């Protein structure tokens, strides 16, 4: 059954009856914010929050809207859906989309954290929870997953993706699509449409500056940025969102080569394409289109089916363009057919309304919190554990000092890009530690410093309510001294530092990777007390840990761990859960190394003398794929089952892994491949597979990976096509991208 047209008879029947204005109306998605009392409305004419709901509802009344976004209250969904159906001559319902990025009511760890679990099954379960909650309140479609590859941590939106690697990114993208869509998205399914974004190469923004242009080579586009989209499409993604920025000089939303030749023809996508917010109008902003009339025509012609518009949609002007003959009605019909097909696939023509009583039951499901807790525990990455400081021993009669402005911040624990959360359900790190330590230990808390927050809310917080609270008046120097004194008096100090959630995400790029504010100063003062210190880093990008990596005995990257984050972190600290997270990116020593990633080609100097900085090593602080466990593992020699294979053949690579510790743990064995020669110079290592292996104390297991044509194929700049070439190959299986000795094999013609 085709995702774009599941029921041709109904869809074609409606299409045959529709007028041109009714067809064009189906191609527009309006924002509809339910504004809280006192919300700001001074965002300018483009973001006039007071006028915006009226414009959307007026469009519903005249049958001129195909979709709405930013509505999550089931009563409001039903009210607006009734208005849409009554306002449309043919009774066509609207789609409701929403930013369900890492949960709706139950907030999972941020997407970058989920990717750090290297666990496709877990990611799928997490997104199935998000889908169930979203569908229960009347949301039909998520603007997720974000599958943009991010190799510059200055870019704030890396928190929404899966990191730097196209193979891992593809695994994560497919798992998210399966979790959101399941086996079907019909009425009663508890599933929603997935919308991978942003097509394409949005993560390559120059300087890590959000919305800035991207200029990437052909080989980089095909080998790095497109594979996660291909994986999402192969998993059945129903929607793709076009990107804001110009790609190689042509804005993505008006790029016919990108949206038609590549997306539909090369990648085989048959769903509908939506623009990012106001991206069609922005074609004029880019000095690409000659005004909004031209912008609408060029976006539709490029392959955009649905315009996401904050106000005054460019697509409104398509009626005149059809009447003048500038736009063929067949092109409009193709897009309308895709939108109507999505609505039929969701069962909206037969069951357009949501059960408000059932919504409350689904949102309160305790099993959802259990998944969130498991996901947060599996996502955290143990970066350092000198002297086996962790896990913490039972604290009978002991004392723990919890320090830092993020340790007891419910909103920051959830992370960015969530809008329908319940703060009362959120477990902070301080609360998790106190609950786990129980009455037998003394747990003190000191913020240490003021929160280094922004002084204004983000655009989404302005419209949806919330935003940073005003900082209370307190003496920071006195609080700093109190925190240091608490650490000095404790048996162990747990310091929680990082970035507040409003300092990352869309429009939140940074020129520095340093801890904001006085956090580094606070950390150094606590370490100077001589008390053993555990550093918990709450962020969605790598921060500057050079000093900490040499001075702090235990470091955990806990990301923004979500609703059950504090409970999960306590599970890890006290050994109730074993660290299993692995880095989905290369951790730089400083911002001066950026961009840095493991899949680099060799320079002209094999010893890399001309790639070194005179003031810093060229190596990363932590390699891609790195992560420690409380257990210890050893890898045996790598073996291949054949020395030589044919061009279409497959070699099997095996290694024995032993747990040489006295406790159970999970190791993530990673397969890396290198092609020594070919029509293009190939990266020295490329991830081509991984396995999570659970081993009891003293247990061993053999892990085997196939290396066949799919693992060896790549897009060659010289050949201008996908190639499969003979030659010699190196292969490794180990704990990260810097893993040791491997093996080799040859491919013959």
Indicate if 148 belongs to the active site.
no
**CA atoms 568, 572, 578, 579: torsion sign:** positive
Residue 11 confidence (pLDDT): 96
Tokens of 137: 């309140």
Min mean pLDDT across 215-224, 283-292, 606-615, 692-701 is at: 606-615
35 pLDDT band (50/70/90 cuts)? very low
Residues 631-665 have pLDDT tens digits of 999 999 999 999 999 999 999 999 999 999 999 99
* Phi, psi values for residue 124, rounded to 5°: -60, -40
Domain 633-748 - what CATH class? mainly beta
Tokens of 126: 């997490």
Residues 514-538 have pLDDT tens digits of 999 999 999 999 999 999 999 999 9
352 pLDDT band (50/70/90 cuts)? very high
* Phi, psi values for residue 672, rounded to 5°: -125, 145
Q: Give the gyration radius of the chain's Cα atoms.
A: 26
Residues 361-400 have pLDDT tens digits of 999 999 999 999 999 999 999 999 999 999 998 655 689 9
> Contact at 8 Å (CB) between 513 and 590?
yes
Mean pLDDT over residues 654-682, rounded?
Answer: 97
Is residue 5 over pLDDT 80?
no
Domains 377-576 and 633-748 share a fold: no
Tokens of 1: 């059954």
Domain boundaries, the chain: 377-576, 633-748
Residues 299-336 have pLDDT tens digits of 999 999 999 999 899 999 999 999 999 999 999 999 99
The hierarchical CATH code for the domain 377-576 is: 3.40.50.1700
Tokens of 526: 């606590």
Q: How far apart are CA 411 and CA 591, in angstroms?
A: 27
> Contact at 8 Å (CB) between 322 and 332?
yes
Is residue 467 over pLDDT 80?
no
43 pLDDT band (50/70/90 cuts)? very low
Residue 50 confidence (pLDDT): 45
474 pLDDT band (50/70/90 cuts)? confident
Q: How far apart are CA 611 and CA 605, in angstroms?
A: 8
Residue 44 confidence (pLDDT): 44
Mean pLDDT score of the chain: 93
55 pLDDT band (50/70/90 cuts)? confident
∠ at Cα 745 (739, 747), nearest 5°? 130
Residue 34 confidence (pLDDT): 63
Question: Active site residue: 148, 152, 210, 276, which one?
Answer: 276
Q: How far apart are CA 348 and CA 335, in angstroms?
A: 18
DSSP-assigned states of every residue in 315-362: GGGHHHHHHTTSS-HHHHHHHHHHHHHHHHHTTTTT--S--HHHHHHH
Residues 6+ apart with CB under 8 A from 658: 633, 634, 636, 695, 698, 699, 700
Q: How far apart are CA 114 and CA 108, in angstroms?
A: 8
Residue 7 confidence (pLDDT): 54
Q: How far apart are CA 12 and CA 578, in angstroms?
A: 55
* Phi, psi values for residue 571, rounded to 5°: -55, -40
Residues 160-213 have pLDDT tens digits of 999 999 999 999 999 999 999 999 999 999 999 999 999 999 999 999 999 999
Residues 6+ apart with CB under 8 A from 450: 405, 471, 474, 476, 479, 517
Residues 6+ apart with CB under 8 A from 470: none
604 pLDDT band (50/70/90 cuts)? confident
Mean pLDDT over residues 249-273, rounded?
Answer: 98
Residues 6+ apart with CB under 8 A from 152: 158, 203, 204, 205, 207, 208, 594, 595
> Contact at 8 Å (CB) between 372 and 107?
yes
Residues 6+ apart with CB under 8 A from 475: none
Tokens of 594: 């950026």
193-194 and 141-142 beta bridge pairing: parallel
37 pLDDT band (50/70/90 cuts)? very low
Is residue 41 over pLDDT 60?
no
Residues 6+ apart with CB under 8 A from 273: 199, 239, 240, 241, 242, 259, 263, 303, 304, 305, 306
Is residue 289 over pLDDT 80?
yes
Residues 85-131 have pLDDT tens digits of 999 999 999 999 999 999 999 999 999 999 999 999 999 999 999 99
- How far lies 441's CA from each of 401, 434, 526, 580, in Å? 11, 8, 20, 27
Helix (H, G, I), strand (E, B) or coil at 727: strand
∠ at Cα 655 (654, 661), nearest 5°? 155
Residues 433-459 have pLDDT tens digits of 999 998 889 999 999 998 765 434 554
Q: How far apart are CA 586 and CA 267, in angstroms?
A: 28
Residue 48 confidence (pLDDT): 52
- How far lies 318's CA from each of 17, 25, 52, 224, 275, in Å? 18, 10, 21, 36, 16
Is residue 724 over pLDDT 60?
yes
């Amino acid at each position: 059954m085709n995702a774009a047209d599941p029921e041709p008879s109904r869809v074609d029947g409606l299409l045959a009856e529709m007028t041109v204005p009714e067809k064009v109306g189906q191609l527009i998605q309006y924002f509809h914010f339910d504004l809280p009392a006192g919300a700001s409305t001074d965002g300018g004419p483009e973001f006039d929050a007071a006028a915006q709901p009226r414009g959307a509802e007026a469009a519903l009344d005249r049958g001129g809207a195909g979709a709405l976004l930013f509505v999550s209250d089931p009563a409001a969904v039903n009210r607006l859906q009734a208005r849409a159906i009554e306002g449309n001559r043919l009774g066509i319902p609207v789609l409701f989309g929403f930013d369900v990025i890492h949960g709706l009511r139950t907030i999972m760890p941020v997407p970058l954290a989920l990717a750090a679990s290297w666990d496709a099954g877990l990611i799928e379960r997490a997104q199935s929870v998000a889908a169930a909650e979203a569908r229960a309140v009347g949301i039909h479609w998520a603007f997720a997953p974000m599958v943009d590859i991010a190799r510059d941590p200055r870019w704030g939106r890396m928190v929404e993706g899966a990191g730097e690697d196209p193979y891992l990114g593809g695994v994560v993208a497919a798992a998210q699509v399966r979790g959101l869509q399941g086996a079907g998205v019909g009425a009663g399914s508890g599933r929603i449409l997935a919308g991978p974004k942003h097509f394409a190469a949005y993560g390559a923004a120059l300087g890590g500056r959000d919305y800035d242009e991207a200029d990437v080579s052909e080989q980089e586009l095909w080998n790095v940025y497109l594979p996660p989209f291909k994986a999402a499409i192969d998993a059945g993604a129903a929607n793709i969102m076009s990107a804001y920025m110009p790609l190689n000089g042509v804005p993505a939303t008006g790029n016919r080569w990108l949206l038609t030749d590549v997306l539909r023809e090369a990648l085989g996508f048959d769903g509908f394409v939506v623009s990012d917010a106001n991206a069609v109008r922005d074609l004029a902003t880019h000095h690409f289109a000659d005004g909004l009339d031209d912008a609408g025509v060029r976006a539709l012609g490029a392959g955009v089916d649905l315009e996401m518009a904050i106000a005054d949609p460019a697509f409104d002007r398509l009626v005149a363009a059809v009447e003048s003959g500038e736009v063929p009605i067949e092109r409009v019909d193709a897009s309308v057919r895709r939108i109507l097909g999505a609505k039929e696939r969701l069962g909206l023509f037969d069951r357009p309304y949501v059960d408000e009583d059932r919504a409350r039951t689904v949102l309160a499901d305790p099993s959802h919190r259990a998944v969130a807790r498991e996901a947060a525990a599996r996502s955290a990455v143990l970066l350092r554990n000198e002297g086996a400081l962790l896990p913490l021993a039972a604290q009978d009669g002991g004392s723990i000092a919890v320090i830092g402005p993020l340790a007891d911040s419910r909103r920051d624990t959830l992370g960015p890009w969530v809008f329908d959360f319940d703060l009362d359900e959120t477990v902070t790190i301080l609360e998790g530690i106190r609950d786990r330590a129980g009455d037998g230990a003394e747990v003190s808390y000191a913020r240490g410093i003021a929160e280094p927050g922004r002084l204004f809310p983000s655009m989404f917080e302005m419209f949806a309510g919330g935003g940073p609270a005003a900082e209370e008046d307190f003496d920071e120097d006195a609080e700093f001294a109190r925190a240091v004194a608490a650490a000095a008096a404790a048996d162990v100090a747990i310091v929680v530092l990082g970035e507040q959630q409003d300092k990352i995400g869309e429009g939140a790029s940074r020129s520095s990777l340093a801890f904001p504010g006085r956090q580094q100063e606070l950390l150094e003062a606590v370490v100077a007390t001589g008390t053993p210190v555990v550093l918990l880093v709450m962020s969605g990008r790598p921060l500057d840990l050079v000093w900490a990596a040499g001075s702090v005995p235990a470091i955990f990257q806990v990301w923004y761990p979500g609703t059950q984050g504090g409970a999960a972190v306590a599970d890890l600290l006290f050994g109730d859960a074993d660290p299993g997270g692995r880095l989905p990116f290369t951790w730089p020593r400083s911002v001066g190394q950026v961009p840095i990633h493991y899949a680099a080609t060799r320079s002209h100097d094999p010893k890399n003398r001309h790639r070194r900085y005179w003031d810093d090593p060229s190596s990363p602080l932590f390699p891609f794929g790195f992560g420690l466990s409380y257990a210890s593992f050893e890898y045996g020699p790598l073996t291949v089952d054949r020395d030589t294979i044919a061009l279409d053949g497959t070699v099997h690579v095996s290694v024995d892994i032993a747990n040489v510790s006295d406790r159970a743990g999970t190791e993530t064995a990673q397969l890396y491949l290198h092609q020594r020669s070919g029509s293009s110079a190939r990266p020295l290592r490329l991830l081509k597979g991984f396995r999570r292996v659970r081993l009891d104390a003293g247990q061993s297991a053999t892990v085997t990976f196939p290396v066949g044509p799919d693992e060896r194929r790549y897009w060659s700049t010289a050949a201008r096509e996908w190639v499969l070439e003979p030659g010699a190959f190196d292969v490794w299986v180990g704990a990260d991208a810097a893993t040791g000795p491997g093996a080799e094999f040859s491919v013959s013609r």
